[in-house]
Chain A
Amino acid sequence: QQQVKQSPQSLIVQKGGISIINCAYENTAFDYFPWYQQFPGKGPALLIAIRPDVSEKKEGRFTISFNKSAKQFSLHIMDSQPGDSATYFCAASKSLTGGGNKLTFGTGTQLKVEL
């Protein structure tokens, strides 16, 4: 049972275009929604995160839009660059008793930005 659903599975965008990746969740107990970026041969790394009481968060060219009532959130990459070509994972985080967090990941989106 996939608690965090992610689409599309792959995405090709022209340089300078906008990349949009969508996620939906079911469990309302999640308390943060991060996005991770993974380059080939590397482990995922945190890109940006949002709390569920905020509708939008922007960091440079990356923006998360969050719709709590629809239980959906999305990543927008403005002015996409070839260096943004990577696999992107949305996730939902639940704080653990005693500290730390438990991440539930989406299935990933492979983004390719073409010249």
Chain B
Amino acid sequence: DADVTQTPRNRITKTGKRIMLECSQTKGHDRMYWYRQDPGLGLRLIYYSFDVKDINKGEISDGYSVSRQAQAKFSLSLESAIPNQTALYFCATSVAGGRYEQFFGPGTRLTVL
């Protein structure tokens, strides 16, 4: 089945460490997105990408960077992790003409101590 996968699924790290979260998809979608989910705040957009040459900031990009290595791969990096980046992180994809549907991966639970 065409799918969106995220690795790792769980990660515990320490303040100041660099960490990368990876997303791969077999849906053939051009658009990819990174969100973080926090209790009581819903999902907030960190970055999104139209294709390998296009990266756009979302509403909460500070402290994060991304890399679109290929159409199917979109990575999120925390250059120097801090405790308030502890959250559930989701990758999502959509077709170019999609009006409202995004397809989400299973999430990565990140804890920064």
Contacts and interface: CB of A to CB of B under 8 A. Distances in A.
Interface of A: 6, 9, 31-34, 41-46, 49, 89, 91, 93, 95-96, 98-108
Interface in B20-48: 30-31, 40-45, 48
A101 B45 contact: no
Contact of A105 (B44, B101, B105, B107): B44
A103 B102 contact: yes
Nearest to B94: A100
B42 A32 contact: no
A93 B45 CA distance: 12
A107 B105 contact: no
A32 B102 CA distance: 13
Nearest to A31: B99
Given A99-B31, A103-B45, 19 more contacts: A6-B42, A32-B99, A34-B100, A34-B101, A41-B106, A42-B106, A43-B106, A43-B107, A89-B42, A91-B100, A96-B50, A98-B50, A98-B54, A99-B98, A100-B31, A100-B98, A101-B98, A105-B42, A108-B42
